[in-house]
């Protein structure tokens, strides 16, 4: 019996994500929490003829606590999305301030994630936590630091959701191969982190090879398209937010993988941004491979009943991919440290 909770369930990602989870037969209870609109979203979803019982909660009357009680898996898409150029971001509630720059966006999302993580650490410390709220490279360390403060941190149970990068890479490769029907079966490991240059698609390890005459410049263009795919959506939405529907699909895919693995299904492997202490041997081998002592990295993770079962190393890379990994490391390190210090020095 799986109880899934979505925190930020009334948002652009939260609503379609909740819909997809409601359609998942493995989920028997679905709790939705947001600062607005969850009773309506829950009432609407509750009419769908699938097994999950849906309830919606708001902050009053201990809503967060009620939503989280008995949670097996918690998915967090709460926060503020970016808009073109990361500037002029406006919260969709008029009474809240206009957010002017990337750093303000960080502070708002970091604060939201910190407070929600405190709720999880207190009410459902054993739940598997899947973080969607950006910047994932910082928000995952934030959740970990909050859990450490409460003495309940288990690195095997915390995941940054990078699945959208994987989904995009598979789709773009299928487009290049001229057959979109291949997209669901194409798998491309995407490693590193989850923003811009920290996103490293390992196209040489794609389950379906690129055409033999695929040029170096085409490879560069495809790599950049995966790294900055979010910008395409932000631009096309023209001020109305960032990727929501594709992100909901990706979030539901990853949540389903975690639930299946926890239920005992073997052989489930997916990239995720994890704390490398989740599998000491695998984590140490990965650190050696990248030549940097980072605490977090996105890589292929073997999932099991306890969450992370094994962290895989990157394997054989081309010199182009090695360059991408090295280029990702400085920004990754800065973002991880920013998340950690947000909790250590909360006045930031």
Ligand X SMILES: NC(=O)c1ccc[n+]([C@@H]2O[C@H](COP(=O)([O-])OP(=O)(O)OC[C@H]3O[C@@H](n4cnc5c(N)ncnc54)[C@H](O)[C@@H]3O)[C@@H](O)[C@H]2O)c1
What DSSP character marks residue 48? S
Sole binder of ligand X in the list 81, 141, 229, 282 (CB under 6 A): 81
Sole binder of ligand X in the list 5, 99, 169, 243 (CB under 6 A): 243
Nearest approach, Cβ of residue 281 and ligand X (Å): 28
Cα–Cα distance measured from residue 95 to residue 74, given in angstroms and rounded to the nearest whole number: 28
Question: What are the beta bridge partners of residue 127?
Answer: none
CB atoms within 10 A of CB 178: 8
18-47 mask for ligand X (x: CB under 6 A)?
A: ---------------xxxx-----------
How far, CA to CA in Å, does 99 sit from each of 12, 24, 79, 104, 317? 18, 36, 12, 6, 40
150 is catalytic: no
Sole binder of ligand X in the list 2, 3, 6, 14 (CB under 6 A): 14
Nearest approach, Cβ of residue 64 and ligand X (Å): 8
What DSSP character marks residue 305? T
Sole binder of ligand X in the list 51, 88, 92, 293 (CB under 6 A): 92
Contact 223, 324 (CB under 8 A): yes
How far, CA to CA in Å, does 44 sit from each of 7, 18, 51? 17, 11, 15
Sole binder of ligand X in the list 6, 75, 136, 200 (CB under 6 A): 136
**Residue 77 binds ligand X, judged by CB under 6 A:** yes
7 Cα distance to chain centroid: 13
How far, CA to CA in Å, does 338 sit from each of 87, 140, 149? 20, 11, 17
Residue 14 or 283 with smaller CB distance to ligand X: 14
187-206 mask for ligand X (x: CB under 6 A)?
A: -------x------------
Residues at the contact surface with ligand X, assessed by CB under 6 A: 7-8, 10-14, 33-36, 77-82, 92, 109, 112, 115-116, 132-134, 136, 161, 164, 194, 241-244, 247
Residues labelled catalytic:
194
């Amino acid at each position: 019996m799986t109880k899934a909770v979505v925190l930020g369930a009334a948002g652009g990602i939260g609503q379609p994500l909740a819909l997809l989870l409601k359609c998942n037969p493995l989920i028997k209870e679905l709790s939705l929490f947001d600062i607005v609109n969850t009773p309506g979203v829950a009432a609407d979803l509750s009419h769908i003829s699938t097994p999950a019982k849906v309830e919606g909660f708001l902050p009053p009357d201990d809503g967060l606590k009620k939503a989280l009680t008995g949670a097996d898996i918690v998915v967090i898409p709460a926060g503020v999305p970016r808009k073109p150029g990361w500037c002029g971001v406006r919260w969709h509630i008029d009474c809240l301030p206009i957010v002017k720059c990337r750093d303000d966006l960080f502070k708002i999302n970091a604060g939201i994630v910190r407070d929600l993580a405190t709720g999880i650490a207190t009410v459902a410390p054993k739940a598997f936590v899947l973080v969607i709220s950006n910047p994932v490279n910082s928000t995952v360390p934030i959740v970990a630091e909050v859990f450490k403060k409460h003495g309940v941190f288990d690195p095997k149970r915390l995941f940054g959701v990078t699945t959208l990068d994987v989904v995009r890479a598979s789709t773009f490769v299928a487009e290049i191969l001229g057959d979109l029907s291949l997209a669901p079966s194409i798998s491309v490991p995407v490693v590193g982190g989850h923003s811009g240059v920290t996103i490293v698609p390992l196209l040489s390890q794609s389950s379906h090879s690129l055409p033999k005459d695929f040029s170096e410049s085409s490879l560069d263009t495809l790599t950049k398209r995966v790294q900055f795919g979010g910008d395409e959506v932000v631009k096309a939405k023209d001020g109305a937010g960032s990727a929501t529907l594709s992100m909901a699909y990706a979030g539901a895919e990853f949540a389903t993988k975690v639930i299946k693995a926890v239920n005992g299904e073997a052989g489930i492997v997916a990239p995720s941004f994890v704390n490398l202490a989740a599998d000491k041997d695998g984590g140490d081998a990965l650190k050696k491979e990248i030549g940097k002592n980072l605490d977090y990295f996105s890589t292929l993770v073997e999932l099991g009943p306890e969450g992370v079962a094994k962290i895989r190393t990157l394997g054989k890379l081309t010199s182009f991919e090695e360059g991408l990994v090295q280029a990702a490391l400085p920004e990754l390190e800065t973002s991880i440290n920013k998340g950690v210090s947000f909790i250590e020095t909360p006045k930031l």
